Amino acid sequence: MTMDISLNILTFTMRKKNPLIALAESLRSILSIVGILLAFSSIAHAQAEDDKDFLLMYFKEEELVVESPTRAQKSITQVAENVTVVTADDIKLMNAHTLADVLNTVTGVQVFLTGGPGSSALAYIQGSGQKHVAVFMDGIPLNNLSDNVTEIGAIPVQNIEKIEIIKGPASSAWGSALGGVINIITKSGTDNASHGVASASYGERNTSDLRLETSGKKDRLGYYVTAGRLQTDGFNGPHHDFSGNNAYTKLSYDLTKDTSALISTGYNKVNRGGSEISTFFINNTVETWSSSLAINSALNQETMFSLSLWHLRQNFENYDYQLSSGVQLINDRYIDDGYGSSAKLTWKHQQHNIVLGADYNSKNLTSNKIADGEKGLRETAFFVNDTISIGHLSMTPGARYDRTNTNGDFTSPSFGVTYKLTNTTLLRAYTAKAFNMPSFADTYGDNLFHVSNPNLKMEEVLSYEAGLETSAVDHLWIKLSFFRHDMKNVITSAATCTTCTTFTSVNAEKEQRQGMEIELKTEPVYHTSLSAGAMFMSAKDPGTGQTMQNVPQRTYDVGLRYDDNSLKALLNGHYIYWNTAPAFNGKYDAFIADLHIAKNLLVNGLAVEAFADIHNIFNSDQYLTDIYKNPGRWVEAGVRYLF
């Protein structure tokens, strides 16, 4: 499934210098340019509140402050990267079951689905490989060591407060993130009054989703607790069933008026059928435990210090069975166990918002498919960035240095600019160098068909982005984003010899991806608003000019929303032109459209919300390969009780 502008200030010669000295010199080069600009400004004043005024007609307040680009909260009008935010309200209205359902509606994100609710799913961003997309939940890196991917089809969504998606390289803040970042921020108990939600839905093929949430705050202690179960008999045959149980708890405690502690723990276990291929079918089990501890302290009015610790353990088991007899043929096991820490100092002073931080990750992979049965990753990183506001101009220089025990080290610089051209128009520009660490399956994986290659280099990209967003047209918000990603050391498969049936992974290719995104939203008229988005992209081998197959060339998204507080409805349409090789037998000549309706009721004094969903209204086909066809039309309905 695994599928010319030059800036001298971003030219780095790392190999013959001490990495930390080179990192400092790199950042100093960027800041020297900033210093020249600052010399022309005697008065710098914050524009965040004014800058966001023209967006409030189209977005909720929580969408206008983000933390993912620099790992510190700031106005989205100061963000040069292409960022999309999805809120808990959005997730609730679309009645999403898993993270895959949510990301499948985001312009510029392509989700490879393998079936109905709970089925295996992987995310691409602007056509990047799924290995290039880094997924985090409250600072915990979720990508596994074996394939360097996150299985988004198994992640429940009821505990999600917000998802921030960086569409493009993000290594200067997050490390290995060549294609982008999906940053999940979970809910917390912040309201003094206790409240909760109990919900249940049922649909075709014995599909049910049961959830319970409660949260609140008493004196210094805040809490959020949730548990749920999702199950289905599957929509693509007898071996596509799914069952999953999950639980999550987050506690907060105000140690002093300036210092708070957060403790979270989560558990998720899923069992599912994968697919029928030739004479066998696949089942797999994924079991995940996570925990974290964070301390946040305001040292003074301008300075914040944060320290976090995390642990993550993921168990994967894959079973292959003979289709005719049900006899087990293969049993593959992977145990991905790791812990890490992060320290961060944020200083806001006049026109500056400086972030200085360090990360440490230690992970081990135990598997019968890895050379010697066990391999480990040790990674240390330091990062720094500054958001500088000068009137209507905002600049963000940043750099990060990563050192690993497996693939050497890498320095990731970035520089972004936003400029408020008018009260209704914002310009953005961004350039960055980023990397992706080879997966352990590529580096150490040995089996009947694959030979390990411990000499793999990190994949690299040099990226340029530019765009604007405007509401100059009455009642309409428009966002344009242009991008170019020049990749090298791209990892691909190569035969070990001319007559061999075994392959190995090599750094053999370059790739150039360039294109544009367009998004728009209208103001509500009679409680009704329209949203739409499209991505057009060309992916080529720059040496031969040949178009790369199995890389999406264009996507379209459309949404029609009605909301009068009592009645809510959402009609979503999504299309991906996958451009797959003929052998995949893909079919993608039609939209997939879903309708979601929710109605608030008062039953015997109780607040109840009834909802219903029609999935794939037109019973269309939209799949990358015929092994994993999408479900046809199906219906579900349910109720939520708010207490």
How far apart (Å, rounded) are the C-alpha atoms in residues 73 and 134?
19
Q: Which two tokens stand for residue 471?
A: 């509401």
**pLDDT tens by residue, 329-354:** 677 889 999 999 999 999 999 999 99
What is the model's pLDDT at position 181?
98
Query: Quick check: is 1 in a domain?
Result: no
How far apart (Å, rounded) are the C-alpha atoms in residues 431 and 462?
8
Q: Taking residues 491-510, report their average pLDDT.
A: 86
The 10 Å Cβ neighbour count of residue 311 is 15
Pick 336 or 509 by higher pLDDT: 336
pLDDT surpassing 90 at residue 143:
yes
What is the model's pLDDT at position 550?
87
- Confidence grade of residue 324 (pLDDT, cut at 50, 70, 90): low
CA angle, 534 then 537 then 539, to 5°: 160
Q: Which two tokens stand for residue 564?
A: 């009068």
What is the model's pLDDT at position 192?
79
pLDDT surpassing 90 at residue 44:
no
Query: Quick check: is 240 in a domain?
Result: yes
What is the model's pLDDT at position 201?
98
- Confidence grade of residue 56 (pLDDT, cut at 50, 70, 90): low
Domain CATH number, residue 232: 2.40.170.20
CB 359 within 8 A of CB 175: yes
- Confidence grade of residue 190 (pLDDT, cut at 50, 70, 90): confident
Query: Quick check: is 313 in a domain?
Result: yes
Task: Name residues whose C-beta falls within 8 Å of residue 257's C-beta, 6 or more positions apart in sequence.
Answer: none
What is the model's pLDDT at position 40?
36
Query: Quick check: is 555 in a domain?
Result: yes
pLDDT surpassing 70 at residue 33:
no
Closest CA to 379 of 175, 146, 143: 175
Q: Taking residues 45-74, report their average pLDDT.
A: 70
Q: Which long-range CB contacts under 8 A does 21-28 form with residues at least 24 apart?
A: 22/411, 23/382, 23/399, 23/400, 23/401, 23/411, 26/399, 26/411, 26/413, 27/384, 27/397, 27/398, 27/399, 27/413
Instruction: Check the CA dihedral 403-81-88-597 and report its sign.
Output: negative
CB 359 within 8 A of CB 378: no
pTM above 0.85, yes or no: yes
What is the model's pLDDT at position 55?
59
User: Can you name the residues that pair with 218 across neighbouring β-strands?
Assistant: 221
Query: Quick check: is 383 in a domain?
Result: yes
How far apart (Å, rounded) are the C-alpha atoms in residues 550 and 492?
13
How far apart (Å, rounded) are the C-alpha atoms in residues 363 and 312?
9
**Domain containing residue 177:** 8-642
Q: Taking residues 139-167, report their average pLDDT.
A: 95
Task: Name residues whose C-beta falls within 8 Å of residue 238's C-beta, 6 or more positions apart in sequence.
Answer: 273
**pLDDT tens by residue, 252-267:** 999 999 999 999 999 9
- Confidence grade of residue 22 (pLDDT, cut at 50, 70, 90): very low
**364 burial via Cβ count (<10 Å: 0-12, 13-18, 19+):** middle
Closest CA to 492 of 504, 501, 502, 481: 504
**pLDDT tens by residue, 460-473:** 999 999 999 999 99
What is the model's pLDDT at position 553?
94
Q: Is 213 helix (H, G, I), strand (E, B) or coil?
A: strand
**pLDDT tens by residue, 390-448:** 999 999 999 999 999 999 999 999 999 999 999 899 999 999 999 999 999 999 988 77
**pLDDT tens by residue, 448-462:** 788 889 999 999 999
Task: Name residues whose C-beta falls within 8 Å of residue 4's C-beta, 6 or more positions apart in sequence.
Answer: none
**pLDDT tens by residue, 601-630:** 987 778 999 999 999 999 999 999 988 899
pLDDT surpassing 90 at residue 276:
no
What is the model's pLDDT at position 52?
52
Query: Quick check: is 3 in a domain?
Result: no
How far apart (Å, rounded) are the C-alpha atoms in residues 120 and 2?
13
Query: Quick check: is 237 in a domain?
Result: yes
How far apart (Å, rounded) are the C-alpha atoms in residues 520 and 40?
36
Query: Quick check: is 339 in a domain?
Result: yes
What is the model's pLDDT at position 368?
85
How far apart (Å, rounded) are the C-alpha atoms in residues 482 and 517?
6
Strand 587-588 with 567-577, pairing: unpaired
The 10 Å Cβ neighbour count of residue 549 is 15
Q: Is 562 helix (H, G, I), strand (E, B) or coil?
A: strand
What is the model's pLDDT at position 19?
45
Side chain identity at residue 526, one-letter code: Y
Counting Cα atoms < 13 Å in the Cβ hemisphere of 331 gives: 2
State the total domains in the chain.
Answer: 1
pLDDT surpassing 80 at residue 5:
no
Please tell me the least confidently modeled range out of 172-176, 206-210, 235-239, 301-305: 235-239
Closest CA to 615 of 73, 115, 151: 115
Q: Taking residues 93-117, report their average pLDDT.
A: 95
pLDDT surpassing 80 at residue 57:
no
